[in-house]
Amino acid sequence: MQNGNKSVAFHTLGCKLNFSETSAIARLFAEKGFVKKEFTEAADVYVINTCSVTENADKETKQIVKNALKKNPEAFVAVVGCYAQLKPDEIAKIEGVDVVLGASEKFKLLNYINLSDKNTHAVIHNCEIDDVNFFVDAYSVGDRTRSFLKVQDGCDYSCTFCTIPLARGKSRSDTIENVIENAKKIAVSGVKEIVLTGVNIGDFGRGQFLEEGRKKREATFFDLVKRLDEMEGIERFRISSIEPNLLSKEIIEFVAQSKKFVAHFHIPLQSGSNAILKKMKRRYLRELYAERVQMIKELMPHCCIGVDVLVGFPGETEAEFKETYDFLNGLDISYLHVFTYSERANTEAIEMNEIVPTNIRKQRNKMLRILSAKKLRNFYEKNIGSTRTVLFEQENKDGFINGFTDNYVKVKLPFDASLINQLNEVSINSFDADGIMNGELITEKIPN
């Protein structure tokens, strides 16, 4: 079907992986003649790509649907993604939703659209998650500076607090050859930086399915990193998030001498207490985590290290939280992403006793967010006086242009349109009140 003059708008919740998949779905609409609009504008179709990690997902989705239908009450509304896979019946009850699509069906959205009439009741299409055994590639477009490239999906881990395996299925990966092909397409568009994304990207290579349903492994994440490092046309590769037990010494050593892979790791921790890590069924202890951080900093003292941490897990005592706080305080890390534990249906943790009161969870979250702010300021201040390569973004923010260094320090200069999507050597000279570093351009743009 061709849909000239018909329009579509997208709203994405959650992670970088979701953003890459929304872009892939958007390209399918463009191929059928749909005009893409902002979600705040009137459109014929609204697509909401949901997240299972989002707090109050039901309430949030309801509000997003309501906002869309204010712009066009007759619009076709599709809710897709992780929350749609986990709680399709809840979403189907939201007034104005036409179709609910799960983990595999979201990429077939065009098959379910009916622009002639809104559905009286939402139609649900989602298969059993164990049947999701194929990989669909995706990458984001629209931002001239960077692109999120999906290389892996799903997870074989069984962390007791997590619903992602229920929402996305078993671990499976793209092939190295197809990742390279997609990276070349991104390079042609003028993008300078690619962020590698997935649910558990360190598990890359596992999950190429055989006909009988078994899985084989043809490559590793380290193999992928080495191949991408040889690619022409992309200046930077960034690893979005990688489990500490899968962040091998070989990967760290390679990144330390790489010209393409930047000095920035995001490494989930979740807890600094070994007792809690065991209850969470994480696949490492705090000692291994500390070893990885120490090795990174020995080889790359300037490296940015981000950390995911979860507070208020069932049974987390004040002493165990203090273990986490003290552990993080003593680590040479750069920032924290702090999450508050919330009960998730069909997880082991929801059956655990010793529930941490909500007010205590919030208090612990606040303490770690304050620690994160201190860590980030300390990391930024260590970069004062250094010269780093900055990739500038296109937005004019109050007369300034912002960009990120290779090691993920946010820097601003007076706005100059010629700097957009260019790599420049910048001297970092001060910490501004808005939490961004002031810089001074010291060279012309670096030739590509």
Q: What is the pLDDT of residues 95-122, one digit of tens each?
A: 999 999 988 889 999 999 888 777 778 8
pLDDT of residue 215: 56
Q: Which two tokens stand for residue 64?
A: 């997003």
pLDDT of residue 271: 98
CATH class of segment(s) 7-127: alpha beta
Query: Is residue 244 very low, low, confident or very high in pLDDT (cuts 50, 70, 90)?
Result: very high
- Mean pLDDT, all residues of the chain: 91
Question: What dihedral do alpha carbons 308, 228, 144, 67 form, nearest 10°?
Answer: -40
pLDDT of residue 104: 81
C-alpha to C-alpha distance for 368 and 329, rounded to whole angstroms: 9
C-alpha to C-alpha distance for 84 and 48, rounded to whole angstroms: 10
C-alpha to C-alpha distance for 63 and 261, rounded to whole angstroms: 40
pLDDT of residue 212: 46
pLDDT of residue 431: 87
**Whether the predicted pLDDT of 445 surpasses 60:** no
Min mean pLDDT across 266-275, 297-306, 388-397 is at: 388-397
Name the residue ranges covered by the structural domains of the chain.
7-127, 132-262, 387-441
**Whether the predicted pLDDT of 275 surpasses 90:** yes
**Whether the predicted pLDDT of 267 surpasses 90:** yes
Min mean pLDDT across 14-23, 282-291, 313-322, 418-427 is at: 14-23
CATH topology of domain 132-262: Transcription Regulator spoIIAA (3.30.750)
pLDDT of residue 443: 63
Over residues 20-32, mean pLDDT: 92
**Whether the predicted pLDDT of 418 surpasses 90:** yes
Over residues 137-151, mean pLDDT: 88
Percent of residues in the chain assigned helix, strand, coil, to nearest 5: 35, 25, 40
Min mean pLDDT across 76-80, 126-130, 244-248 is at: 126-130
Helical H runs in 284-317? Answer: 286-299
User: 387-441 maps to which CATH number?
Assistant: 2.40.50
pLDDT digits (tens, 9 = 90+) for 346-392: 999 999 989 999 999 999 999 999 999 999 999 999 999 999 999 99
> Does the reported pTM lie above 0.85?
yes
Q: How long, in residues, is the chain?
A: 448
Query: Which pairing describes strands 99-101 and 123-125: parallel, antiparallel, or unpaired?
Result: parallel
